[in-house]
Each structure stands twice: as C-alpha cells, then as structure tokens.
C-alpha cells in the first residue's frame, strides 16, 4: 500500500491537493468501476481521453487521481465536491501508471514472480501454474486480461504480503516487453510458444520470437526460463545468462483422452506419477507438464502438485464446456490465433461417437499473412473427422476452399446472425459444437444466445 508521497516520488509529480501521508489501497482506470477510496488514473486512449471522466470518479468518492491535461479539468469544482481528494499532476498519466507499478514492484522485490508469455496459451498456463503453487503458497495471480503495459501495473500495485506472484505478460507492439520487464522482474519465465498472433502488428515470427524471449532480460534470482521444447523457434534458443529448462509433450506418457478429462503419466521428483486433468483440450497436457516443473522448482509436494492440476477447470470462454438437451458446446471464443484454432479443433476431434460441428469466424490481426494462414487452417481438416463447418467472415472463404476437400457439409454465412440461425437449424442431440473466432467477430454472442434460450 503506497502513500500519496510515494506516488508523487515515483512519478516526479506535483501534489496539487490532498494529504501526503494518506495511503492508497486500490487503483482504477475506468471511472465506471471506481468505488469509494479507489485512486483513478485517466488514460488518454485512441478515441477517448480519460480526463473527461475525472469528475465522475470524484462523485463516486475516489480517493484521488492523476492529471496531466490540467486545462480540461475544473480543479475548483472538484474541490467543492471533495476538498480532501488527492490530486497529483504528472506529465503523462499512462507513464505515471507504469512508474508507480514499477515503484511498488521494487518495494516488494523479495516476492518471487513467475512470468508467463507466448503467442497463445498464456492464460491457461497461468491458471494451471497458479493452481499448483497455490496448494502450498499464498500467491497473487493476474486477474482477467491485465497483462499489458496498462494492465500489468495494476497487478504489481497489488503486491503486498504475498509469498509469490504468477503474472501473465502479453505484448502488442515492439518494445512492450521492455516495459513489462521493469514491472515483472521475474525469477522464472515461461514462454509457451512462438505463433502468429498479432503478426500483422509485428511483421513476422522472427520479430515475435525476439520480443517474447526478451523476457529473459528482466530475470533475477533463480533466472530460470522454461521453454516449450516442441516449438521450432524456442527449441533452438540460446542464452548463457539464464538457466534453460525445456518441457515437451514427450514428457507425458500413456496419454488417455476422455470426454471430460485427460490422464497421463509423467516424472515428478524422479518417480513416475499418474496425472488427471479435469478439463478438455490437448494443450492442457503441456500446461500440466510446465506447471509440474514449476511446482518442483518451488518444492511443492507431489500430492499437492497432483491436487492442483486435478482442481483446474477451463476458464470462461477458453475451451469451456456447456451442455443442454444432450448437446455439447465447446466455447473457445475468448480470442483466436491460427495455432489456437488448430489446437481447439484437434482437441474436440478426440471426442468419439458424436457428430462434430465447427462454427468458425475470421482470425484477425494477421495483416498480409491472413490469406495464407487461413488456407493452412483449412488444411487441418485433412486429419480430422468433422461432419459440418459453419463459417463467416471474409477470410473464412480461404479456410473453406481447403476444408471442403475433407468436410462433406460446409455452410458459409454472411454474418454471425446467419451463422447462429444455421446452428439452430441443424443442431441436435449428441452433437458436439466447437465455437472459435476473434473477439470482434462476435462468435461468443452466438454461444450466449444459445445459453439464454436453452439453459434458462
């Protein structure tokens, strides 16, 4: 918990109002979420300047706020509403947020951090690792998608008395990992894979590889990197300054995939152990393997490692299983990349004795690679046994052009509404329906409509 004087120090700001010794407990960047005593940080976005909502935050009884655009803020009116409100003038509110996040991380530098990055699988890996570590330790875990240079400071500001933290690092532009490193200062870093997510922003996979593995520059203490040894980029990574450990699907033996769970054997503390994962998705095998390795690094007993993995459930909209009227829906609509779409399709394909339907929409932010990557996704169906594809989006035309060689029934729809209508027309008992697409394609709305109509 930082004092106002520490916020001023960290940001090199000017205290315009309020008490220097006052302690700040919580921080918000959305004025609509501000509760009494929260500190509001107005962010200048692409379309909206958060300064316009300072007055709303004050009326919601915030403890204080940063301000950089002093000309559009009526300080006198704000003092009339609350003469004790803390007002700190800074040069840049977004930078100020990062600065206080870094300050609090350094204040609690003794708290060890496991950081997780990669093109896909960050969140599910984060959750699996945290389930294992939380069996023995008090840990802080990234909330929701607070993994960027804006979300991460809000997490490091929560560091206080925990024994450890498991924090997810997501990057959208070249150089963002350099910012995150100063916030994270991790002891252990996990890189899940180097894929094509946001490749339209980065340019190519070589740049993505460089940016993701830059997390090594922030390592301290144990200086351990856990890398996916099955990834063609990561398996060749070299860095004499850190200890590199690899994890692989080959670490799992005797894999059994059931309709609601996955079982396999693996070595824990030099002994073969049987693992049960109560969640769908082949990716959860790799997630379990890396979580086991992290558990061993931190001395978590075998029984607690196994209990942690067994307690894991797929989180909202990430291979989430929903059932009604004998129909199984796999909601994998949180977001999409070519590799995550392929992984989800392959995982659902493992389910036997059901008619399989894939409802797919465009994967976005692929730039000039969009056509080729969607063509490759269509080729995936060569080795799968799907009965029906329902697709919409401009780039889905490319996927379909390849998939039609391997899937008998394909329906191309003009939008999500037409796709939803088609799902309703054809779905029947004993179907398993997989939903996937980028967030702004609104595939999740189809799932929500079906849940509303058939589960209430």
The DSSP-derived string for 210-244 is HHHHGGGGG--TT-EEEEETTSTTGGG---TTSEE
Q: How far apart are CA 151 and CA 44, in angstroms?
A: 14
* Residue 264 confidence (pLDDT): 98
* Residue 46 confidence (pLDDT): 80
Write the CA distances from 261 to 27, 122, 444, integer angstroms: 39, 20, 24
Mean pLDDT to the nearest integer, 263-285: 95
Kindly indicate the confidence band of residue 82, based on its pLDDT and cuts at 50, 70 and 90: very high
Kindly indicate the confidence band of residue 18, based on its pLDDT and cuts at 50, 70 and 90: very high
* Residue 43 confidence (pLDDT): 95
Judged by DSSP in three states, 5 sits in helix
Reported as a single tens digit per residue, the pLDDT across 347-373 is 999 999 999 999 999 999 999 999 999
* Residue 447 confidence (pLDDT): 97
Q: How far apart are CA 375 and CA 402, in angstroms?
A: 6
Q: Nearest 5 degrees, angle CA 223-CA 169-CA 289?
A: 65
Q: Taking phi first (over 0 means left), then psi (-120 to 50 degrees means alpha), and beta for anything else, what does residue 437 get?
A: left
* Residue 89 confidence (pLDDT): 97
Kindly indicate the confidence band of residue 100, based on its pLDDT and cuts at 50, 70 and 90: very high
CB 313 within 8 A of CB 426: no
Kindly indicate the confidence band of residue 317, based on its pLDDT and cuts at 50, 70 and 90: confident
pLDDT at 456 over 80: no
* Residue 455 confidence (pLDDT): 87
Reported as a single tens digit per residue, the pLDDT across 110-129 is 999 999 999 999 999 999 99
User: Among candidates 216, 215, 214, 199, which has minimal Cα distance to 376?
Assistant: 199
Percent of the chain scored above 90 by pLDDT? 91
Kindly indicate the confidence band of residue 235, based on its pLDDT and cuts at 50, 70 and 90: very high
Domain map (residue ranges) of the chain: 2-92, 108-310, 320-454
* Residue 326 confidence (pLDDT): 95
pTM over 0.75: yes
Structural tokens at position 347: 């995982």
For all residues of the chain together, what is the average pLDDT?
96
Mean pLDDT check: name the lowest of 50-54, 68-72, 103-107, 339-343. 68-72
Q: Taking phi first (over 0 means left), then psi (-120 to 50 degrees means alpha), and beta for anything else, what does residue 221 get?
A: left
Helices (H), 237-337: 283-297, 302-310
Mean pLDDT to the nearest integer, 11-40: 96
User: Among candidates 81, 67, 65, which has minimal Cα distance to 18?
Assistant: 65
* Residue 258 confidence (pLDDT): 87
Q: How far apart are CA 105 and CA 293, in angstroms?
A: 25
Fold classified for 2-92:
3.40.1390
Beta strand 164-168 with 112-117 is parallel
Q: How far apart are CA 280 and CA 320, in angstroms?
A: 8
* Residue 260 confidence (pLDDT): 85
Kindly indicate the confidence band of residue 422, based on its pLDDT and cuts at 50, 70 and 90: very high
* Residue 294 confidence (pLDDT): 98
Write the CA distances from 66 to 4, 42, 56, 155, integer angstroms: 11, 7, 14, 18
Kindly indicate the confidence band of residue 280, based on its pLDDT and cuts at 50, 70 and 90: confident
> Residue holding tokens 């958060």?
50
Q: What are phi and psi of 317, to 5 degrees?
A: 65, 20
Reported as a single tens digit per residue, the pLDDT across 139-169 is 999 998 999 999 999 999 999 999 999 999 9
| Residue, of 114 and 257, whose pLDDT is higher | 114
Q: How far apart are CA 25 and CA 13, in angstroms?
A: 19
CATH number of 108-310: 3.40.1190.10
Which CATH architecture best describes the domain 320-454? Alpha-Beta Complex (3.90)
Dihedral sign, Cα of residue 101, residue 102, residue 108, residue 112: positive
Reported as a single tens digit per residue, the pLDDT across 187-230 is 999 999 999 888 988 999 999 999 999 999 999 999 999 999 99
pLDDT at 335 over 90: no
Kindly indicate the confidence band of residue 381, based on its pLDDT and cuts at 50, 70 and 90: very high
Cβ neighbors of 183 (< 8 A, separation 6 or more) are: 98, 101, 102, 105, 149, 152, 153, 156
* Residue 316 confidence (pLDDT): 82
Mean pLDDT to the nearest integer, 301-330: 94
Kindly indicate the confidence band of residue 72, based on its pLDDT and cuts at 50, 70 and 90: confident
Residue 99 has, within 13 A of its CA and on its CB side, a CA count of 17
């Amino acid at each position: 918990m930082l004092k106002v004087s520490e916020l001023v120090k960290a940001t090199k700001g000017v205290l315009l109002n309020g008490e220097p010794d006052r302690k700040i407990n919580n921080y918000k960047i959305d004025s609509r979420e501000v509760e009494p005593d929260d500190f509001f940080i107005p962010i200048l976005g692409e379309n909206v300047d958060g300064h316009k909502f300072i007055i709303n935050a004050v009326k919601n009884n915030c403890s204080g706020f940063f301000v950089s655009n002093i000309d559009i803020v009526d300080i006198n009116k704000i003092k009339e509403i609350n003469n004790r409100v803390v007002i700190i003038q800074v040069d840049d509110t977004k930078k100020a947020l990062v600065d206080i996040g870094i300050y609090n991380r350094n204040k609690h530098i003794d708290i060890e951090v496991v950081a997780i990055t990669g093109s896909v699988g960050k969140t599910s890996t984060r959750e699996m690792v945290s389930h294992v570590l939380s069996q023995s330790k008090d840990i802080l875990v990234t909330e929701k998608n607070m993994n960027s240079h804006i979300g991460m400071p809000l997490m490091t500001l929560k560091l206080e008395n925990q024994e450890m933290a498991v924090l997810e690092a997501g990057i959208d532009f070249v150089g963002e990992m350099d910012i995150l490193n100063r916030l994270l200062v991790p002891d252990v870093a996990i890189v899940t894979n180097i894929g094509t997510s946001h490749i339209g922003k980065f340019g190519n996979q070589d740049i993505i590889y460089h940016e993701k593995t830059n997390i090594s520059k922030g390592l301290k203490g144990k200086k351990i990197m856990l890398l996916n040894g099955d990834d063609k980029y990561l398996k060749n990574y070299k860095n004499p300054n850190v200890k590199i450990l690899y994890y692989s699907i080959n670490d799992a033996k005797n894999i059994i995939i059931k309709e609601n769970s996955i079982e396999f054997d693996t070595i824990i503390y030099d002994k073969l152990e049987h693992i049960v994962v109560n969640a769908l998705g082949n990716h959860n095998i790799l997630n379990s393997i890396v979580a086991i390795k992290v558990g061993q690094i931190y001395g978590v007993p075998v029984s607690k490692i196994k209990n942690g993995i067994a307690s894991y459930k797929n989180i909202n909209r990430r291979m989430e299983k929903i059932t009604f009227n004998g129909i199984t829906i796999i909601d994998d609509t949180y977001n999409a990349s070519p590799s995550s779409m392929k992984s989800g399709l392959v995982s659902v394909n493992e389910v036997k004795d059901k008619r399989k339907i894939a409802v797919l929409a465009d994967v976005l932010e692929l730039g000039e690679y969009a056509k080729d990557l969607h063509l490759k996704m269509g080729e995936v169906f060569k080795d799968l046994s799907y009965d029906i594809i329902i697709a919409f989006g401009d780039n889905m035309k490319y996927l379909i052009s390849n998939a039609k060689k391997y899937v008998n029934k394909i329906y191309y729809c003009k939008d999500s509404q037409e796709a939803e209508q088609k799902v309703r027309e054809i779905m029947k008992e004993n179907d398993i329906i997989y939903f996937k697409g980028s967030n702004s394609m609104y595939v999740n709305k189809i799932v929500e409509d079906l849940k509303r109509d058939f589960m209430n």
